[in-house]
A = this chain, B = another copy of it.
Amino acid sequence: MESLRYSLQLLSLIFLLFSIWASAAQRVIPRLGVRRRTSKHEVPQTTSSFSSDIKIYYYTQTIDHFNFRPDSYATFQQKYAINSKYWGGADSNAPIFAYLGAEGPLDDDLGSIGFLSDNAARFKALQLYIEHRYYGNSVPFGTMKEALKNESTRGYFNSAQALADYAAVIIDVKKTFSAENSPVIAFGASYGGMLAAWFRLKYPHVVLGSLASSAPILYFDDIVPQDGYYSVVTKDFKETSQSCYETIRQSWAEIDRVASIPNGLSTLSKIFNTCRPLNNSSDLKNYLEYIVTGAAQYNYDAPRYLMSDMCRAIDGAANGTDTLGRIYGGVVAYKQNHSCYDVNEFSAPSETNDGWGWQSCSDMVMPIGHDTNGSMFPPSPFNLTENNDYCKKLYGIEPRPHWVTTYYGGQDIKLILRRFASNIIFANGLKDPYSSGGVVEDISDSLVAVTTAEGSHCLDIIVANSSADPHWLVRQRNKEIKIIKQWIAKYQADLLQLKQRIPV
């Protein structure tokens, strides 16, 4: 179970916020993120193999790169970590592997992101891990709570500013290590994967190439259908077991039915062994939705497969077990044995939930929803107007839902990028519901999709486990390593050729 060091991480505050929003009380927003985290108390284990070689630094970062008001000159301390143990040095232009932090503290990632540490020796790479602004120790304006509370200080918290931060840090690190000619490869996963892809597009002079793991860069505006995410979850469960899918599909109405009879909530509390008596059926349904979507998104949880485990429990319950009893069995299979189940566990405030709550109401508006059309969930379409009203009420501003496509593009991506840009790997597991917003076909020779039919969210980038990882995952990583090697080789050849042409 050693490879289980990444842990459950699913949305909580957003859900909580949405549940206080009457018209969308039932709303669950699937979380991005590399790891599942079962609760706020569960701290991820760190990878002892490289943590002792890692050194922590802080960079004095500009709060607003795109404005020249005096207050835009304010600074904050941005955390980054370096492991130079395997670095080949500036003389040989050895590469720099840069991990772009996402919506959480860097410390969590240092324990679970493995691609860099697993491959540093092979590439003689310097490892650099950079924390995203407003998370962990990289919070401007004192505390995150303070920064997010104030309608003026939270405005600086967005993806374009974060990318500029990464550029500034990487340029500084290259200077410090006299590594001006070292090629940089960026890595990111989930939201961080979007950042990695966009970083190569916007800052090609800073980064030679990017591995964007499970990056749903097309899940904005109307590029992909809003029910993409839930369609994949539904398809995943259907493929795992038709009867399991049917049981889940029927369970929502069954919960409503039981809830509506006298003492129904108490009955439900008993069936689902909840830690506290249920106040309403929505909490339970939302909890179950997180479990079901989480099972699909993080399906392969070495060495087990979550959807198979759940469906085995749901389908294999003793004869005569009713729908809700079967679903409860699925919950136990997913969560493993607990003395009781906390239906609000995903709603606990956390940096990730607080931060993403804001981000999804400013630039990161992902229109994820579902109607009755073939989904195994009760209808819950995404409504842009309602979403804007909700965000406005909560934060005083409306989101800018079209900004991501204005700034980063995404529409007609094949047409646009087949003759522009290079060196991005879009990695996706096709079991991952977020793959519905990912790039899953090659765009050009060097903008390539690496997909695995069995893969779920961000598997390629987490710490490898040579004894437990399935062959398809090993193959995916090897393919990525080979591509990155080619980028670097071509770059080194270019560099040599240009140097030789320069008259002395």
Contacts and interface: CB of A to CB of B under 8 A. Distances in A.
Contacts of A400: 62, 68
Interface stretch (A39-47, A115-123, A153-161): A153-161
Interface in A131-183: 151-152, 154-158, 160-161, 164, 167-168, 171
A243 to B, nearest CB: 32
A396 B70 contact: yes
A67 B155 contact: yes
Nearest to A399: B68
Interface in A51-89: 62, 64-73
Interface stretch (A28-36, A281-289, A407-415): A407-415
Interface stretch (A270-278, A462-470, A490-498): A490-498
Contacts of A66: 64-67, 158, 160-161
A421 B204 contact: yes
Contact of A68 (B72, B154, B412): B154
Contacts of A398: 73
Interface string A416-437: 1111111100000000000000
Given A419-B422, A420-B204, A423-B419, A68 B406 contact: no
A231 interface: no
Number of copies of this kind of chain in the complex: 2
Nearest to A157: B68
Nearest to A167: B406
Contacts of A450: none
Nearest to A64: B67
A161 to B, nearest CB: 6
A422 B62 CA distance: 31
Given A167-B407, A407-B164, A409-B205, A156 B67 contact: yes
A413 B204 CA distance: 10
A362 interface: yes
Interface string A468-504: 0000000000000000000000110011001000000
Contacts of A354: none
Contacts of A72: 155
A95 to B, nearest CB: 15
A155 B69 contact: yes
B68 A168 contact: no
A167 B411 CA distance: 14
A396 to B, nearest CB: 6
B158 A68 contact: yes
Contacts of A73: 397-398
A71 B153 CA distance: 11
A249 interface: no
Which interface residue of A64, A66, A73 has the most chain B CB atoms within 10 A? A66
> Which one of A67, A72, A73 has the greatest number of beta carbons of chain B within 10 Å?
A67
A158 B155 CA distance: 18
Given A64-B67, A67-B156, A167-B406, A417 B151 contact: no
A240 B74 CA distance: 51
A92 to B, nearest CB: 17
Contacts of A67: 64, 66-67, 155-156, 158, 161
A204 B158 contact: no
A67 B363 CA distance: 9
B152 A70 contact: yes
A202 interface: yes
Q: What 9 pairs between A and B have smallest CB-CB spacing?
A: A205-B409, A69-B155, A66-B66, A68-B155, A68-B362, A204-B420, A67-B155, A205-B416, A69-B152
Interface of A: 62, 64-73, 151-152, 154-158, 160-161, 164, 167-168, 171, 201-206, 362-363, 396-398, 400, 403, 405-423, 446, 490-491, 494-495, 498
